[in-house]
Amino acid sequence: MGNLVDIVTAMAFGVFTHQGVVIQVPQDFPSVQEAVHAASDGDLVLVDQGVFDGGIDLLGKAVTIEGIHGAEFTAIYGGSPVFRCVSSENSNTVLRGLTIVGGRGPIGDDGVSRGGGLWIKGASPRIEQCLIVGNTAELAAAAFVDEGAPVFMDCWFHDNPSNAGGPGVMCDHSRPRFVRCGFHEDGVGWVDASPVDIRSDCEKPGGACCLGEACVQTTMLACQEARGRWHEDATCQSNVCPASCPGDVNRDRRINHTDLLAVLGGWGMCP
């Protein structure tokens, strides 16, 4: 009787919260997408070992989808893309311990396919301990991130061929983080991106690193290795990096004969 009174009281004052339940695939639902449809915010979708159909839309739900035995034993295969996050998912939407494989990039309004493994638009999910491998698209076969701030942690990107070449991950108007991730023949490309954070959570102190006309939040060691100029405890939003300087070909912050010689030395048709 006491528990019922507590529940009724909580509902009356608007403080009743969903505790989350565990949904198992394939025991409760045969597919991951069906489990997502049935899930509520806070639920945990546990996926058994095996290969399961991709083409999954996260539907804006704050759920965790996790491979019980890790990415080595649980694969989400196929779809266009394998996972789609386009409904304002945030850090409470988590993909963990999955192999994301065999996806095809959906075709955008410009007729170009992108993001065979992950299509993230206006969303900021967390992708942890995942293998993103063997996905295809004309551009950004592994993942396409548009207007979001997702976190990739302890992930490995491998063999995601793009027909037009270029990086496996493309970030457009976005601010993702890559923490302890590995890339094998799959780089990351930035298109009109705001400052990005490539530091590990364990690395302190951080600061702003000026790399030519770009600014990256990182550590002093990482900035020095990239031959940038580091500003301790500063942020890129504070505009510590100087604005672009037209005519400064070698980016030494001076326009002189060295820049002119560089232009003359490269005179002619571009390959």
- Strands 169-172, 188-191: pairing is parallel
Q: Quick one: pLDDT at residue 121? A: 94
User: What would the pLDDT profile of 111-170 be if each residue is shown by its tens digit?
Assistant: 999 999 999 999 999 999 999 999 999 988 999 999 888 999 989 999 898 887 777 888
Residue with tokens 């399961």: 52
Residue pair 98/72 in contact (Cβ under 8 Å)? The answer is no
More confident residue, 255 or 73: 73
In this model, does residue 177 exceed pLDDT 80? yes
Length of the chain: 271
Interval 105-113 mean pLDDT: 91
pTM above 0.85, yes or no: no
Interval 184-195 mean pLDDT: 55
Beta bridge partners of 219: 206
User: Phi first, then psi: what are they for 17, rounded to 5°?
Assistant: -125, 150
Torsion (CA) 25, 26, 29, 33 in degrees, nearest 10:
60
Interval 237-248 mean pLDDT: 76
Confidence of residue 253 (pLDDT cuts 50, 70, 90): low
Interval 82-109 mean pLDDT: 96
Q: What is the CATH number of domain 19-194?
A: 2.160.20.10
Sequence ranges of the domains in the chain: 19-194, 199-264
- Strands 64-67, 94-96: pairing is parallel
**Which residues, in sequence order, are CB contacts of 143 under 8 Å at separation 6+?**
115, 117, 118, 119, 120, 132, 157, 168, 169, 170
Q: SS3 of 6, please? A: helix
In this model, does residue 9 exceed pLDDT 80? no
